[in-house]
């Protein structure tokens, strides 16, 4: 007679789900130390259209639960594409590739999470379909599924649940908040939603809160809000076995009461939990807005967290002060040019934009960004005239490189504050080598493999690398900073840590020539002759980094590099 635990007629216990056996249809690896109910889950989905603001909502809710209520929040972004990570994605298609300290190349939403939660994340906070399926194939080849036929249910869904539970244990999280990429109805996230349905079934509905973010259309020709697309999206979600607990309605204007009631009827969600998240103008104000409309209190009630929530923390008070600074009048406007070849897609440079936006209020300034396309060299050189500062960001390949060099030359010769980032650092070296160090043919072997003056060349450890994905010099590295330099003044330390994403560097054969011509390399790798910061003494602000300081800049602690750059831009205003 079968035991009650494994009987097909009775629901198995939570612990029995951890058993990998051919005797039942379950597949779960419950991590050691994991307790059912010890971690609560929030699942954020989207419908109607992509780009509706799930990432902004998810990070803002995480901000509120973490910085205001004091919960340990661990965010996760799931992307349905089959890429292992975001490293090989074109910025035109997917925006910026964000890099974590452990070297993970990921979706730009991870950058939003780090900035809004004021904490560093890792590979455990990022999941793609490619990562899931590689894990499964590797396990199947190693015989880890004990001879079973590997299927979406229970194996794929089981690995997803295992990923979330492992994150919970590793981060000792009170709340794991999961953003499901794409929209309801997409084939590539259907199995993930099934995993979330199973998670709620296994953890208990009191431990899982589903939030669906919809978009309320308002066609200009009609002049009224239309909710039918949102209703259909909600019905599709419910058809997958997922009942939303909260519906967040994104709209340009305040939501009509009749629309709110329609959404409530179609979704089985009480009217008070149909929340209108309208445009508020500034992303940093969204956590305060969500607090005002009571989203956090509804989530706390649904998950039974009332007795565990804390009062406002000092971090949140600082956040409120920042929002107040952003709203204050009498700001000095600073015109900043961002030069590049992806300027048509502003998300390609989103971390730079955010670093500028959250640094400016501390200096009583506001940012007026001017986008400068560098594929036309002459036009780019003309468009930087009259700017208060110039940023040359990262990039790859030859297209637009000469335009960037022309912009850098203008900044150097006209004493305009200049900040070069990664590829911008390399282009600044080339501009100086050609026009000051008299190395007229100076080039990068990335652009010209046959150059006679390879001032920029591939890193030695990259010479034998064959593949593209995850093979660059990635993630956080320590650096040594020379005393008495601008870099030392900005950081206030001789040892710093920043995040990198590059294959090429300054050729060591040319370092002495560049320094003799007046360039100062003020930051470098310890025990290696890899130059990572350059500056020009006597210039108002001529500073470039091989790393990406925008990746570590946060609203409550802006990057010293961006602060120094903006201070220089404000001189004389």
Residues designated as active site:
422, 548, 550
259, 216 contact by CB (below 8 A)? yes
Give per-residue burial for 55-91: e unless 16+ CB within 10 Å, then b.
bbbbbbbbbbbbbbbbbebbbbbbbbbebbbbbebeb
The CA distance from 558 to 24, in Å, is 53
In 3D space, the residue among 407, 413, 348, 415 whose CA is nearest the CA of residue 383 turns out to be 407
Return the structure tokens found at 165: 């539970």
The full 3-state SS of 335-354, as one line of letters, equals EEEEEECCCCCHHHHHHHHH
CA Rg value for the chain: 26
* DSSP type of residue 98: E
28, 17 contact by CB (below 8 A)? yes
In 3D space, the residue among 159, 133, 140, 150 whose CA is nearest the CA of residue 80 turns out to be 133
The CA distance from 468 to 357, in Å, is 32
In 3D space, the residue among 79, 75, 53 whose CA is nearest the CA of residue 63 turns out to be 75
Return the structure tokens found at 303: 């998950």
């Amino acid at each position: 007679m079968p035991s009650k635990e494994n009987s097909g007629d009775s629901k198995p216990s939570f612990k029995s789900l951890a058993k990998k056996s051919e005797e039942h249809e379950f597949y779960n690896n419950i991590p050691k130390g994991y307790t059912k109910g010890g971690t609560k889950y929030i699942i954020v989905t989207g419908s109607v259209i992509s780009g509706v603001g799930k990432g902004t909502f998810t990070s803002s809710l995480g901000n509120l639960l973490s910085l205001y209520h004091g919960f340990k929040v661990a965010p996760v972004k799931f992307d349905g594409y089959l890429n292992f990570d975001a490293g090989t994605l074109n910025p035109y298609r997917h925006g910026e590739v964000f890099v974590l300290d452990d070297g993970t190349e990921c979706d730009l939403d991870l950058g939003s999470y780090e900035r809004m939660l004021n904490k560093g994340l890792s590979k455990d906070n990022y999941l793609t379909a490619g990562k899931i399926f590689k894990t499964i194939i590797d396990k199947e080849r190693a015989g880890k599924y004990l001879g079973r036929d590997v299927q979406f249910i229970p194996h794929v869904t089981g690995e997803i649940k295992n990923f979330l539970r492992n994150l919970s244990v590793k981060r000792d999280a009170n709340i794991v908040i999961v953003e499901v990429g794409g929209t309801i109805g997409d084939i590539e996230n259907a199995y993930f939603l099934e995993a979330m349905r199973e998670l709620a079934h296994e953890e208990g509905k009191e431990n899982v809160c589903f939030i669906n973010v919809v978009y309320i259309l308002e066609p200009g020709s009609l002049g009224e809000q239309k909710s039918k697309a949102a209703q259909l999206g909600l019905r599709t979600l419910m058809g997958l076995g997922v009942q939303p607990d909260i519906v967040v309605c994104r709209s340009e204007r305040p939501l009509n009461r009749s629309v709110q009631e329609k959404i409530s009827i179609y979704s089985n969600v009480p009217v008070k939990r149909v929340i209108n998240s309208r445009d508020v103008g500034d992303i940093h104000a969204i956590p305060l807005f969500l607090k005002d409309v009571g989203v956090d209190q509804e989530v706390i009630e649904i998950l039974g967290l009332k007795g565990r929530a804390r009062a406002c923390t000092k971090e949140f008070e600082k956040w409120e002060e920042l929002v107040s600074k952003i709203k204050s009048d009498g700001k000095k406007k600073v015109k900043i040019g961002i030069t590049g070849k992806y300027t048509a897609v502003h998300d390609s440079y989103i971390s730079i934009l955010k670093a500028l936006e959250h640094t400016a209020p501390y200096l009583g300034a506001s940012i007026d960004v001017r986008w400068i396309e560098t594929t036309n060299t002459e036009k780019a050189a003309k468009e930087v005239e009259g700017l208060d500062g110039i940023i040359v960001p990262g990039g790859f390949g030859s297209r637009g490189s000469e335009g960037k060099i022309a912009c850098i030359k203008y900044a150097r010769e006209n004493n305009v504050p200049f900040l070069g980032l990664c590829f911008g650092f390399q282009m600044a070296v080339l501009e100086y080598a050609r026009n000051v160090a008299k190395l007229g043919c100076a080039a990068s072997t990335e652009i010209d493999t046959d150059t006679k003056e390879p001032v920029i060349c591939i890193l030695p450890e990259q010479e034998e690398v064959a593949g593209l994905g995850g093979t660059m010099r990635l993630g956080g590295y320590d650096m040594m900073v020379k005393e008495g330099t601008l870099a030392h003044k900005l950081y206030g330390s001789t040892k710093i840590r920043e995040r990198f994403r590059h294959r090429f560097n300054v050729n060591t054969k040319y370092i002495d020539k560049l320094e003799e011509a007046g360039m100062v390399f003020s930051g470098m790798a310890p025990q290696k002759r890899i130059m990572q910061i350059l500056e020009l003494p006597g210039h108002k602000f001529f500073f470039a980094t091989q790393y990406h300081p925008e990746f570590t800049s946060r609203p409550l602690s802006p990057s010293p590099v961006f602060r120094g750059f903006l201070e220089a831009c404000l001189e004389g205003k």
